[in-house]
Amino acid sequence: MKKILVIAMALSVFSCTNLDETIYSSIPSDKFFTTEEEFLMSAGRVYSHLLGYTHYYNIWGTITVSTDEALSPFRQFNQWDDGGVWRDLHAHTFTPAHDNIRQTWEFLFTGISLCNQILYEFSQATLDFPVKESMIAEIKVMRAWFYFNAIDLFGNVPFTIDFTDVSVPLQKSRTEVFAFIEQELKENVDLLVDSPLANYGRATKPFAYMILAKMYLNSEKWFGAPKWQEAIDACNAIINLNTLQLEDDYFANFKANNQPSKENIFAIVYDKVYANGGDWSRRFRFHQLTLHWESVRTFGILDETWNGFCTSQSFFNTFDLTKDYRSNMWLYGPQVESSGAPLLWYGWQVDFTPYVTSLFDMSNPAGHNQGVRFAKYEYENGLQGECMNNDYVVYRYADVLLTKGEALVRQGNAATALPLFNAVRKRAGLSDYTSADLTLDEIYAERGREFVWEGSRRQDMIRFGKWTAARDFKAAESDNHTEIFPIPARARTNNSNLNQNPGYTD
């Protein structure tokens, strides 16, 4: 199934190289699609677009480095300067000119436009087949997901669902777009399949309900309107499908072949052969982002690594290294080669320290060995070609349990939430919580430990009131305007209908 989807994605991207195709100045409606396979190829363009998600200059890098779970310090030998983009993300000194934020905006709205185009093409095609309605619903749900990310990151956003409308879209409020997403998901969820494994890497019922759960969980912060029961109901809808469960091994969800995971709700499908392609921005490359230059000898990697991203010392310190099985995701202390011999760099053993000298001080750069490195995703022996074979996990069943548990605690029902948290804790090798343990601060910390580098930390920090506080290499903020990013200057130049978010100046 994975290979079939990836091939469809690849063909949807590279089909333009077929020089024997009939060329039309405009495409007649009866020529849009003539087979079910052509519909699938067109839908595959959405999933092909998602390959850019994990790029460090795209949405993943933007929402991860701006939290406490990741740093990209300026290092010895002029490594990771990049014009200060990582410093500004982490220190929350970003502006409308920030390149990561611009690329994140363009990723989201290109995805929305692509969905609008595909839905228009589907509407013009006369071919009918049994799963056509569900395929249309699938693209509508993907469009809802793009809009969900847009209002999460940018607040009030330009809105259009009509591909034929060539006017510049008007800006709608976060409240209006929230209502659209909610309605779109509710109207289409029943047309989707129940099991992520049955429609791997594509929108399913659990995926749609997970978006709803996330929206409701953040509703109080966004609008001052708590929707805890709605979040619980959305989680229950996933639980009651009985198509998902916690994997016994936490790391099974992140293996090089993690497709069989019974826990992963939605994953972006990568393949070291079929999804590598020629576009360097569409490759899954955590190994390059975080590993030391010499770590290739630890993992048998036949590729260069860049000695970059690490975690902050304070975030690393939230793990119990002696008990928490999840702490095995971190590389710290003296490193060894795959043979067990010391991993040497110019005669010195590489020793990863939690301490980082500075984030962006050219006169006092971080050492080559500073910062604990990330290894939750399996680094496959023999990896080459820059693209990992693992699929990037966007949502997991563990998040369903902890989301429901958090909503219950916020309702005052800690006792009911206990089994949900303790199921996740048990897998990590940790002792059970008691009701008294389930404070909001502890729930925040536990979510951090469970979902490292999975894209949820920014939302969590904002929802729990931690986003603007002082932390490693970041001062306390005087207001909360950075809880939404600035609308990129280029977007405002191209669309005069867009008002800049408060606190930012173009």
When pLDDT is cut at 50, 70 and 90, the band that residue 33 belongs to is confident
Residue 6 has pLDDT above 60, yes or no: no
- The pLDDT tens digits for 110-145 are 999 999 999 999 998 888 888 899 999 999 999 999
Question: What CATH fold (topology level) applies to the domain 2-17+29-273+393-479?
Answer: 1.25.40
Residue 504 has pLDDT above 50, yes or no: yes
Contact 261, 253 (CB under 8 A): yes
Residue 382 has pLDDT above 80, yes or no: yes
- Separation between Cα atoms, residue 42 and residue 47, nearest integer Å: 10
Question: Which residues are within 8 A (CB) of 386 and not within 5 positions of it... i.e. 6 or more apart?
Answer: 276, 280, 283, 285, 288, 303
Residue 101 has pLDDT above 80, yes or no: yes
Supply 175's token pair. Answer: 């409240």
Per-residue model confidence (pLDDT) at position 498: 98
* Domain extents in the chain: 2-17+29-273+393-479
Enter the pTM of the model: 0.94
Per-residue model confidence (pLDDT) at position 421: 98
- The pLDDT tens digits for 225-241 are 999 999 999 999 999 99
Q: Which of the residue ranges 31-40, 183-192, 494-503 would you say has the lowest mean pLDDT? A: 31-40
Residue 305 has pLDDT above 90, yes or no: yes
When pLDDT is cut at 50, 70 and 90, the band that residue 7 belongs to is very low
Per-residue model confidence (pLDDT) at position 495: 97
Per-residue model confidence (pLDDT) at position 5: 60
Residue 35 has pLDDT above 90, yes or no: no
> How many Cα atoms within 13 Å fall on the side-chain side of residue 53?
22
- Separation between Cα atoms, residue 351 and residue 126, nearest integer Å: 63
Residue 1 has pLDDT above 60, yes or no: no
